[in-house]
Amino acid sequence: MKRDWLNIFLPLWALGSIAWVIVGFVMLPIAFRKPLLYSPNAVWTTTLFDVTKVDMEVLRALVVVIGPPGIAIAVALTIVAVEQIWGHRRSQQRQAK
């Protein structure tokens, strides 16, 4: 009996991601309390921010909090794509025989 690993992975990924993000925001509150793009005058503005002025401390916190779940889903989608391509090639080879 072949199991579909994605049906097992996705619920675990979803629960793990929720837990990771909640714990990450509790442990690193700077990730959601300060803006990533800031004004040099420390004034909130409705105009566009200069994207070269990134608060590196906030960026590091966001990478720690959001990075691992994002990487996990990217890896899963890559594996699914490879399985789909490989499965399609194998089915064509079987039909050719």
Give tens-digit pLDDT for 60-91.
888 998 899 889 888 888 888 888 888 766 66
Model pLDDT, residue 91 = 66
For residues 49 and 97, is the Cβ–Cβ distance under 8 A? Answer: no
Q: How far apart are CA 17 and CA 70, in angstroms?
A: 9
Query: Where in the chain are the domains?
Result: 5-96
The type of residue at 65 is V
Give tens-digit pLDDT for 9-45.
788 888 998 999 889 888 888 877 777 766 666 555 5
Model pLDDT, residue 1 = 43
Model pLDDT, residue 71 = 92
pTM of structure: 0.60
Q: Which residue has the tokens 């992975």?
A: 9
Apex 64 CA angle, 73 and 78, nearest 5? 20
Give tens-digit pLDDT for 35-66.
776 666 655 555 565 666 777 888 888 899 88
Structure tokens at 67: 């990075």
